[in-house]
Amino acid sequence: MLSGINADIVFESKTYHVQTEDGGLENPVIVTILFEGGAILASRKTSYADLLKSNNLSESIRDLMMEQHKAMGQDLTAGKFKGTPKTENPAVPVEELRSRKKTLDELVLDYLSAKENTNQ
């Protein structure tokens, strides 16, 4: 597991926090979360299971982490997350959801996202 990436971004007089983490080889997923004042505004997950046999795995994972982290910041400053806080979840096949075991971090993220959506 690679260490995470954290950054604070000041945009339109507000400070946002972007956090990107690697789930590790047992859970080959990169998760990026955008926070405003502790509230989750958006999240993205990218699987890298197809890269596990790569020769330069650590470098490939780090590149994916940097790319996803940077994209979240760019989307923020492009105004994509204005208005009501929301969580962005890419489509995942139902079979994958049923067969996958979630980490504690994923369960907490799912809980917070669902709670945030019900408060809208």
Cα of first residue to Cα of last residue in the chain, in angstroms, is 35
Residue 88 three-state SS: coil
Distance between CA atoms of residues 58 and 52, nearest Å: 10
pLDDT in tens, 32-83: 999 998 899 999 999 999 989 888 999 999 999 999 999 999 999 998 887 5
Distance between CA atoms of residues 112 and 107, nearest Å: 9
Tokens of 3: 């260490």
Buried b (16+ CB within 10 A) or exposed e, 25-35: eebbbbbbbbb
Quick one: pLDDT at residue 84? 42
Q: Which helix (H) or strand (E) holds 14?
A: strand 14-22
- Name the band, by pLDDT with cuts 50, 70 and 90, for residue 87: very low
Tokens of 7: 């950054």
Distance between CA atoms of residues 40 and 16, nearest Å: 10
Torsions phi, psi for 47 (to 5 deg): -80, 140
